[in-house]
Structure 1
């Protein structure tokens, strides 16, 4: 039996309370945002460590970082998510058993943040490595000449100076992270895409719900762009553009 055409524009289905699905969509959107923020933050930490490891680490560390970034960027993200989500959680439990502890039930939120973070970390490593190499060598040499420790050189000179070069790439990675959360629907995590599919499948109003999900993703992107521009303007204060 064909679906009622009027159901395509039945806005009452987006009501926040049942039988509307608006509340469920917003909860799924909040879950997606949590995973994106957590995964992006973890990826940024991994990226900072990976970039400095590639640039200033020993031969073994550089080779390990090279393997990490090459493998993660070569394998499709969906395959990585399935591998890390299932095999990664199983490996953690097996390790806990070996050291005498019992297994633990890893929540979907934690697993999702870990998966997105590992993927983001590989790309962040290359973005930050390029940004660090763009910092004029004279600035770092001057800091060392003043007797600054390597930690102070990193926190007071290298990281602030590389921000104008890194922000465009990092902002793109943030937007990618918000979209990558949709891939977690394949492992059954209740984020926006999975909730949208459930709502559309139950009500048969596919156009309405997928347009609503698209509008939420678009709103997140527009708001993110505003903050990204603010951060970029602030990071470039006193920055002299090369002609």
Structure 2
């Protein structure tokens, strides 16, 4: 355990990178998921069909393959487009892009189901009272959408945190890569990978507590509104 204390700053630096990637993924993924859900619900086939095709494709291939396609394929495509060449997709950028599109693809289904759970009569009532489309969305749809979507989005968040470990393969200095570096130096792989697993577990437990509070708060707000 003496080695763990010695390498703890290294592991904490990797943990910060992991959390930064996970939080950035969630923010971008939520925006993308909402846009895809709205496109799926659109009456225009020019919006709904590509949205369904994109999400089905992203949900049908492994996350690791998406990461490799963006990291290596993105570098190749950009170098082919830029005359000077020499461009390389960063490990963090590749991880953010890969995990965000995966998060967004799954989140779009969660949002779509949440949108469909809102009674149409409430939307029509809001418009009858003179609400604009934005006000109807803000004050009637969003509170009920979040109440329904929070459990599913919480599961996606926890899965996204664990998926960040994949990005160490392309060179990101995240928690897994730092644990691997420490284990190679000290020749104690079990010790450092076990510590890394405890750190991931701590993130999961804290996330579960926060998600549970958000669910209770959303339920109280919905009950109060009724």
Q: What is the match of residue 2 of structure 2?
A: 12
Which of 95, 112, 121 is residue 104 of structure 2 equivalent to? Answer: 121
> Gaps spanning 5+ residues in structure 2: where?
none
1:195 aligns with 2:181: no
Q: What is the match of residue 149 of structure 2?
A: 166
Residue 156 of structure 1 deviates from its aligned partner by 2.1
Classify 1:57/1:135 alpha carbon distance in 2 versus 1 (closer, same or farther; 3 Å): same
**RMSD (Å), alpha carbons:** 1.8
Classify 1:88/1:142 alpha carbon distance in 2 versus 1 (closer, same or farther; 3 Å): farther
> Gaps spanning 5+ residues in structure 1: where?
1-10
Which SS does the other structure have where 2:173 is aligned?
coil
Classify 1:57/1:40 alpha carbon distance in 2 versus 1 (closer, same or farther; 3 Å): farther
Q: What is the match of residue 71 of structure 1?
A: 57
TM-score by length of 2: 0.92
Q: What is the match of residue 164 of structure 2?
A: 181
Q: What is the match of residue 131 of structure 2?
A: 148
Q: Distance in 2 between matches of 1:76 and 1:115?
A: 11
Q: Distance in 2 between matches of 1:88 and 1:105?
A: 8
Q: Distance in 2 between matches of 1:45 and 1:178?
A: 18
Classify 1:92/1:40 alpha carbon distance in 2 versus 1 (closer, same or farther; 3 Å): farther
Task: Please tell me whether the aligned partners of residues 94 and 103 of structure 1 are also in contact (alpha carbons under 8 angstroms).
Answer: no
Residue 106 of structure 1 deviates from its aligned partner by 4.2
Q: What is the match of residue 84 of structure 1?
A: 70
TM-score by length of 1: 0.85
Classify 1:21/1:238 alpha carbon distance in 2 versus 1 (closer, same or farther; 3 Å): closer
Q: Distance in 2 between matches of 1:92 and 1:234?
A: 45
Q: What is the match of residue 4 of structure 1?
A: none
Q: What is the match of residue 24 of structure 2?
A: 38
- Between structures 1 and 2, the one with greater helix share: 2
Task: Please tell me whether the aligned partners of residues 143 and 157 of structure 1 are also in contact (alpha carbons under 8 angstroms).
Answer: yes
1:208 aligns with 2:191: yes
Classify 1:148/1:79 alpha carbon distance in 2 versus 1 (closer, same or farther; 3 Å): same
